[in-house]
Chains A and B, each alone.
Chain A
Amino acid sequence: DAGVTQSPTHLIKTRGQQVTLRCSPKSGHDTVSWYQQALGQGPQFIFQYYEEEERQRGNFPDRFSGHQFPNYSSELNVNALLLGDSALYLCASRQQGVIAGAFFGQGTRLTVV
């Protein structure tokens, strides 16, 4: 079992560009959440996807959008990148209805220059 896998591991983008990050959940998991972790801070919830729909959203602007595919994998898209979007982006998966600790991927380190 590969666990939660994210790609790419590192990414450098220019301010104003768009970026897409990808996540494959742990086998058997159907719910995917995305978190942003700025340097020296705890992760901040961006949004959660279940049954291919956004179910809950944190305090992030509309520049942040996502998608979930029928195989439960997910994408995070960020438009009009700002320098402040530089962070570690973490994907977490779990099985809906099961109260357990979410499994996190290793993250994608995004640097906006």
Chain B
Amino acid sequence: AQSVAQPEDQVNVAEGNPLTVKCTYSVSGNPYLFWYVQYPNRGLQFLLKYITGDNLVKGSYGFEAEFNKSQTSFHLKKPSALVSDSALYFCAVRDMNNNAGNMLTFGGGTRLMVKP
């Protein structure tokens, strides 16, 4: 079985400061990892993915994430937060092993609050 943990329900950061949203995962094989953002009353918007290769992945809106296999983590980062980044962020994992299917397993979400 695969699972995702987002240990922080909420992250508060001042505008202009760096931000980190944490994610750890568990899969039986190797992971595909994703970050999505959700604004109020909206669906999920794709931010970035890790498939293979470079452990630092760059995505939309200046976000990036670092894959750490030994710590089974995929933390989302941004060097300088904007007030408009305030939203709900979800980490998701899919097992590369096709026998596990193609389903995405999501974490519980982390609310990011960026204050002016």
Contact = CB atoms under 8 A, between A and B. Distances in A.
Interface of A: 4, 6, 31, 33, 35, 40-45, 48, 55-56, 58, 90, 92, 99-107, 109
B104 A45 contact: yes
B32 A99 contact: yes
B43 interface: yes
A56 B104 CA distance: 11
Contacts of A44: 106
B52 to A, nearest CB: 9
B103 A43 contact: no
Contact of A101 (B34, B101, B102): B34
Chain B interface size, as a band, is 20 to 34
Given A99-B32, A99-B51, A101-B36, A42 B42 contact: no
Given A48-B103, A56-B103, A103 B108 contact: no
B9 to A, nearest CB: 9
Contact of A104 (B32, B45, B101): B45
B26 interface: no
Nearest to B46: A101
Given A6-B43, A43-B90, 15 more contacts: A31-B102, A33-B104, A35-B106, A41-B109, A42-B109, A43-B44, A48-B102, A55-B102, A90-B43, A99-B49, A101-B48, A102-B46, A102-B104, A104-B43, A107-B42
